Structure 1
């Protein structure tokens, strides 16, 4: 093995200098939101030096921004809002909010509620890239070649689109749930009990199977509990009739899926995390790209002492020692990398059986779309005002569209064009994953033409981006995950954080909070890791009241 800069730093950190406390280091696996949050917290609040290893050539994990010929792609879309004041303040100290109007107040509006964002001087987006924009949120469902509110709301448009007969069947299906509940240990039952069988069959069944590749009856209900907390037909009805009231900017009393305003980095989420990485390095930390962890050196007394790091560029492996270890790598890969201790058979089995979904983005630059803006929202060129469009059409594979123009106008090189991201959630084993980029791009164009969204003759350019293991799935051996957790929790200086690190479909802010809690534990000498795992589980982190 050879020594790298990180190895030298880590080894040097182990040497105790006379009259001074031993310098400690933390090895952080992954430069996504969780990993970089941990690094920043350590670099700014402790004397522990963070050393981050990222396997790819990018910063930000799935929150990275890809620049294609001056047109930027936000992988999966990342709205910046949180119920956590800690996270909101954290983001704003990295990228401050843009200057408000002359009144020094900007009114944030979302689903019938509003709040005043206190103003004052702020960065001018035309003069700096280090700024958060205040953006309007609109996501809709595209089903039967028509638009519906997302989530579904009871209004004239919905009734007109579905028809009186369908509405009646949905109503009867929901009423039936008040007299008969089905088993909701699986996702199908979870949805049926909240929305009724008819609404479930219309808007949830086929889309969920498209998303996860298996029937909703095979998926643990935990995913639904995290993604649609507090939402139901009764909430839809209440939303339609309740009086408007004000809400705090933190949006703690608004269901996540109902929030209609958010903050967004001018150049996409990747710029946020690239900025964080630079600040970590300015504070003495290290961030290394193109270096993957291949082995975790553990001891029988429950301690991780080092990792083996393979450098893709030098083709060499180095052993790097540390005092603390933070992992955001997929759990199955983490367990497979353990060395020096016996891994119980059940731990290996459960870890190996944890499934993931992979992600394809087809970027399409076009002159225009066939769908038109028929809302009262004004947009440049009168393009549709949506951030996301959920494609619930069962005759195509695409799950969702992003209209990047509406996330930030600075994501598009030429504002006269429309920049669209088609999102496919697939498996590496699927035929669509195996398509060449050229064929995948044409596949996407053909699907949009099929559902009357795009005229192929208006396409200017395309690009294809593939990412593995973006969505931890809630089937396979997921319901036995505690077997793995109990094993990893036994290593006092190992912290599993983030989406893949915990095999949990966390939002960006939840992933950050797992890192913040882990660093707090180190600061306070807390060995119990329950608070880290309870992020997005305890009431404090819930997306419902």
Structure 2
């Protein structure tokens, strides 16, 4: 029996394991997971009866393989009638859909609201051209933005940077208001230093033109079909009742039921090879090094660490891998009595809180990058969603810097003060409970040696039985569905004996389907 060694128990690793186990081929499947948790960045952290989603994860994909896979893992709540947008516990369920009050294993249909908070005003994200947007911008700023956009249409910049990518689609004024500050917070680099590839992957065809087209199409009889909508403009998505980790824990249980093994707290340190084949890995468990041999190896560990652990790496490839940058972040969960934000939308919510899943913080006067409102992802993420609000505050940093090293108490004080400064909280005294999580290598970054990735990919592809999958495995800002798709392709190659790995690396490179900057 052939042995498949899979590094990492996140979405890519678990998907690959299940696809191999279900293939009907005789494979012994072993997953090595460095941490003690399932799901990678898609895990759900549990704390005192509350749940935190690390990063925020929308379950929506135009890839039917992914949607079918999710449906199989966890039944979907039926679609709500278009005139019924109450998405709390009192949601009306269409016949045939599971009732979340009666079952735990269900994906809820959620209302997708993400907005920008800029100078104490809300703006739709993606940016819309509604009256509220124009009113909040003011007459003069609206005029400037309009002339700036038309100027960008007439004089296109060469897209040598992310800054030029955004300016070409929104104009200089809207770029400065809604993209520049947040992007620099996220990456720690100005957009002029970041490759335009990131925009191509995460923003796709989103632009002022796309927004206008979307608005006009919805005015037509019958509106716009879901398949035609830009991924960045979708209005509904699915979400596991108890957070994304629930789905991946379900997947892990299925791996074990089918005979697969998941070894926790096993950190891969070395990758051994002979010629063009990987032969074994050495992993660290409880301070002791152990060796595991295999026939095929699928790696979702950071490609930087993968190459660092390999033998006889050429100098050029070692240099590329060593120079690949990442961005880390800290999430601070705060349980508060209320937010100092009025729900001025037509969307009904439990407790009548603002309906946002995410709030992007563009103001450069605070370090806070984004706010998650867990109540709106699922009312089951906290014990009393009608009386309390459970939020996650995302701060981008580098592992080892002053922010990364701050302890939880300092983070709670710092985050609370920023919310008061922004007008989101009336007082820091409203914080009833808190929890902090650090996340390493959350975002593969598109600068430094990133532009030399093709050289590294070519070399890694020379190992016939090594398959790089997932976000960090490919150093690509993949969402869950993209990460899963890399595993589908890798397993297909293994089963068919295909040596060319271009199909695996090409997932999420076509500009016909990408997400906006959701930082999943």
TM-score interval, smaller chain: over 0.9
Partner of 1:398: 368
Residue 70 of structure 1 pairs with residue 40 of structure 2: no
Q: How many residues align?
A: 504
Q: Residue 270 and residue 291 in structure 1: after superposition, are their counterparts in 2 closer, same or farther (change >3 A)?
A: same
2:302 corresponds to which residue? 330
Work out whether 1:438 is the aligned partner of 2:409: yes
Determine the structure 2 residue equivalent to 1:287: 262
Match of 2:284 among 307, 310, 326: 310
Distance in 1 separating the partners of 2:137 and 2:167: 19
Q: Determine if contact 1:134/1:262 at 8 Å carries over to the other structure.
A: yes
Q: Distance in 2 between matches of 1:110 and 1:509?
A: 28
1:31 partner SS: coil
The answer on 1:41 being equivalent to 2:14 is no
Q: Does the aligned pair in 2 maintain the 1:110–1:261 contact within 8 Å?
A: no
State the secondary structure of the residue aligned to 2:485: helix
Deviations 1:207-255 (A, max 9, x none): 111110011011000111111111111122223333244555xx43211
- Alignment partner, residue 7 of structure 1: none
Partner of 1:469: 441
| Post-superposition CA distance 1:279-298 (Å, at most 9, x none) | 00100000111111011011
Q: Is the CA contact (8 Å cut-off) linking 2:214 and 2:229 kept in structure 1? A: no
CA drift at 1:180? 1.4
Contiguous gaps of at least 5 residues in structure 2: 86-92
Query: Which of 393, 409, 420 is equivalent to 1:422?
Result: 393
CA–CA distance in structure 1, aligned partners of residues 474 and 494 of structure 2:
18
Given candidates 501, 504, 508, the residue that maps to 1:529 is 501
1:492 corresponds to 2:464: yes
Q: 2:67 aligns with which of 84, 88, 93?
A: 88
Match of 1:163 among 138, 149, 170: 138
1:115 corresponds in structure 2 to none
Report the equivalent of 2:329: 359
Q: CA deviation at 1:179?
A: 2.2
Residue 263 (structure 1) shift: 0.6
Tell me, in whole angstroms, the C-alpha distance in 1 between the residues paired with 2:236 and 2:357.
11
Partner Cα separation in structure 1 for residue 215 and residue 75 of structure 2 = 35
**In the alignment, is the contact (CA less than 8 A) between 1:72 and 1:411 conserved in 2?**
yes
Q: Which one of 350, 366, 372 corresponds to residue 380 of structure 1?
A: 350
1:55 equivalenced with 2:34 (yes/no): yes
| Preserved contact between residue 535 and residue 541 of structure 1 (Cα < 8 Å) | no
Assess if the C-alpha contact under 8 Å between 2:113 and 2:357 holds in 1.
yes
**CA distance in 2: counterparts of 1:541 and 1:389, whole angstroms:** 24
**Segments of 4+ moved more than 6 angstroms:** 108-111
Q: CA contact under 8 A between 2:10 and 2:42: conserved in structure 1?
A: yes
Q: Which whole-Å CA distance do the structure 1 matches of 2:447 and 2:82 have between them?
A: 38
* 1:379 Cα offset (Å): 1.0
Mapped partners of 2:412, 2:455: distance in 1: 41
Measure, in 2, the Cα distance between the counterparts of 1:376 and 1:131. 26
Aligned residue among 347, 351, 362 for 2:317:
347
- In structure 2, relative to structure 1, the CA distance for the partners of 1:263 and 1:458 (3 Å cut) is same
Q: Could you list the per-position Cα deviations for residues 331-371 of structure 1 after superposition, in whole angstroms to 9, with x for gaps in the alignment? A: 110001012xx211110000000000001100000010111
Cα contact 2:2–2:26 (8 A) shared by 1 = yes
CA distance in 1, matches of 2:28, 2:166: 46
TM-score by length of 1: 0.90
Picking from 195, 209, 218, the partner of 2:193 is 218
Contact (CA 8 Å) 2:42, 2:244: kept in 1 or not? yes
Cα RMSD after superposing both structures: 1.8
SS at match of 1:396: coil
CA shift at 1:108, angstroms? 6.3
Q: Does 1:412 align with 2:382?
A: yes
Aligned with 1:140: secondary structure?
strand
Match of 1:482 in 2: 454
Residues of 1 paired with 2:309 and 2:83: CA distance?
A: 48
CA shift for structure 1 position 119: 6.0
Structure-2 separation of matches of 1:443 and 1:539 = 40
Shift of 1:424: 1.0
Greater Cα offset, 460-469 or 239-248: 239-248
Segment of structure 1 superposing worse, 124-133 or 145-154: 124-133
- Report the Cα offset of residue 539 of structure 1: 5.9
CA distance in 1, matches of 2:213, 2:84: 15
Match of 1:6 in 2: none
TM superposition shift of 1:97: 1.1
